[in-house]
């Protein structure tokens, strides 16, 4: 079989399987909808919302504004921003937002995380998250107190607080986490994030994560709602202090302790924009990718192969077919049809995402470029993670 037909056939078959798997695993996965009631569940005596922040000049004001707008009235809620020694004006902006807030029913603190303990390894936001969780509580007992950890690049929509707590209390959840809607602004995000969302959805199936008898566990770090007593039982962020991908580690600890993990789609209520430039995206994914596959070289190489076959293969086949035609070679109808079908299936994946999650199909024809960018990210992630060289987040060096 000619090379072009082989490549297009393999890509088409895998894309079709991917589309079916997406519909079965994500299209029909449980999702959280806005609550029709603002009544506080009896299992919640107090909610503390924690926003660890490090150099979040571009995000902190909008994040806090969205949180305040989403809060139900007259609930016992405390909002805590923990600044992790930012070198920009993150703390000043958080203080300004607090002073400008007109809600008198909201307890609000902006605190400094302070230096990390000497002789201990604390990665990423684990230290400020732990500092915020250790603050004294205004009231309630641990079994009815809840901690909601939010990243500063999250934007909440009204109704999400009520819905998340009502769901967690009714289901007896110890950790409820929501997969947010990924927002893209720069070209680099449009190239990479839709592919990454697809891989995450299939690599960490929601139904398996929700099955107490299945060891699969996943949590989306941007939105994690813990029952405080359960958070303490697994050691909290202190128990995963050295973990760079702490959300995955916390989810695994919850399941290992025979506690209840609840993982839902939150695309109707939580928005997330992770990166604003190619440089930020490169730094972020080269930090996390190899860790996300448990430092497994085989999984890392496999992820590159899968991405290239699915999202670059059809375009490479089309380019080779066009080149063959320009050079005067004969083009078999079956080859042309198969190449065309593979390109249609690439578009079908994005159309499915638009149908199910409202994701625009913008720049879908550049999926090949996104695939090649990921193919460059993965070996860079392996190098940084194993050597520690250039392994940073916002310029702050991480330890290997």
Average pLDDT over residues 155-184: 95
Question: What was the pLDDT predicted at 38?
Answer: 80
Average pLDDT over residues 183-188: 93
> Position of tokens 């009815």?
144
Q: What are the beta bridge partners of residue 177?
A: 224, 263
Q: Is 31's pLDDT higher than 90?
A: yes
Kindly give, in sequence order, each residue whose CB lies less than 8 Å from that of residue 322, ignoring residues fewer than 6 positions away.
none
The model's confidence at residue 200, banded by pLDDT at 50, 70 and 90, is confident
Average pLDDT over residues 358-365: 92
The Cα–Cα gap between 234 and 173 comes to 14
Question: What was the pLDDT predicted at 37?
Answer: 78
Kindly give, in sequence order, each residue whose CB lies less than 8 Å from that of residue 125, ignoring residues fewer than 6 positions away.
52, 54, 84, 151, 237, 246
The Cα–Cα gap between 348 and 37 comes to 37
- Sort strands 223-227 and 106-112 into parallel, antiparallel or unpaired: unpaired
151-160, 231-240, 322-331, 333-342: segment of lowest average pLDDT: 322-331
Assign 51 to helix, strand or coil. Answer: strand
The model's confidence at residue 400, banded by pLDDT at 50, 70 and 90, is very low
Give the global pTM: 0.93
Condensed to tens digits (0 to 9), the pLDDT of residues 105-143 reads 899 999 999 999 988 999 989 999 999 999 998 877 878
The model's confidence at residue 329, banded by pLDDT at 50, 70 and 90, is confident
Q: Which domains does the chain have, with CATH numbers?
A: 46-183+205-275 (3.90.550.10)
Q: Is 1's pLDDT higher than 70?
A: no
Q: What are the beta bridge partners of residue 156?
A: 270
Q: Is 364's pLDDT higher than 50?
A: yes
Mark out the alpha helices in the chain (DSSP H runs).
3-22, 60-70, 90-100, 126-134, 160-171, 187-203, 206-209, 228-233, 246-256, 278-292, 297-307, 313-326, 333-357, 367-387
Among candidate residues 206, 127, 158, 166, the one with its CA nearest the CA of residue 44? 166
Condensed to tens digits (0 to 9), the pLDDT of residues 6-30 reads 999 999 999 999 999 999 999 889 9
Average pLDDT over residues 371-388: 96
Q: Is 280's pLDDT higher than 90?
A: yes
Q: Mean pLDDT score of the chain, rounded to an integer?
A: 93
Question: 42 phi and psi, to 5 degrees?
Answer: -65, -20
Average pLDDT over residues 239-264: 96
């Amino acid at each position: 079989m000619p090379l072009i037909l082989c490549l297009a056939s393999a890509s088409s078959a895998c894309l079709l399987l991917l589309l079916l798997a997406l519909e079965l695993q994500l299209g029909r996965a449980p999702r959280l909808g806005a609550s029709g009631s603002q009544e506080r569940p009896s299992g919640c005596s107090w909610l503390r919302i924690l926003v660890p922040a490090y150099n979040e000049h571009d995000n902190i004001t909008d994040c806090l504004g969205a949180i305040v707008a989403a809060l139900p009235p007259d609930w016992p809620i405390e909002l805590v921003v923990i600044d992790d020694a930012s070198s920009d004006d993150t703390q000043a902006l958080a203080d300004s937002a607090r002073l400008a807030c007109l809600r008198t029913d909201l307890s609000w603190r902006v605190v400094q995380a302070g230096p990390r303990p000497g002789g201990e390894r604390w990665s990423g936001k684990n230290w400020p998250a732990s500092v915020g969780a250790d603050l004294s509580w205004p009231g309630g007992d641990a079994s009815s107190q809840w901690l909601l950890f939010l990243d500063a690049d999250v934007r909440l929509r009204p109704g999400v607080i009520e819905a998340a707590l009502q769901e967690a209390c009714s289901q007896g959840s110890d950790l409820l986490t929501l997969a947010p809607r990924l927002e893209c602004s720069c070209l680099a995000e449009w190239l990479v994030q839709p592919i990454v969302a697809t891989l995450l959805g299939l690599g960490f199936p929601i139904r398996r994560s929700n099955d107490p008898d299945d060891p699969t566990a996943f949590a989306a770090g941007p939105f994690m709602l813990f029952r405080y007593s359960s958070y303490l039982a697994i050691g909290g962020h202190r128990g995963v202090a050295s973990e760079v991908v702490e959300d995955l580690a916390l989810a695994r600890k919850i399941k290992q302790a025979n506690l209840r993990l609840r993982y839902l789609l939150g695309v109707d209520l939580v928005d997330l924009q992770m990166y604003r430039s190619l440089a930020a995206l490169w730094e972020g994914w080269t930090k996390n990718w190899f860790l996300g596959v448990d430092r497994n070289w085989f999984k890392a190489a496999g992820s590159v192969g899968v991405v290239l076959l699915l999202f670059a293969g059809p375009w490479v086949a089309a380019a080779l077919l066009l080149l063959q035609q320009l050079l005067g070679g004969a083009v078999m109808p079956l080859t042309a049809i198969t190449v065309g079908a593979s390109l249609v299936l690439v578009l079908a994946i994005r159309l499915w995402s638009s149908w199910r999650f409202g994701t625009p199909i913008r720049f879908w024809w550049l999926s090949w470029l996104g695939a090649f960018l990921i193919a460059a990210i993965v070996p860079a992630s392996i190098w940084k993670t194993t050597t520690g060289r250039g392994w940073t987040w916002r310029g702050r060096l991480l330890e290997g």
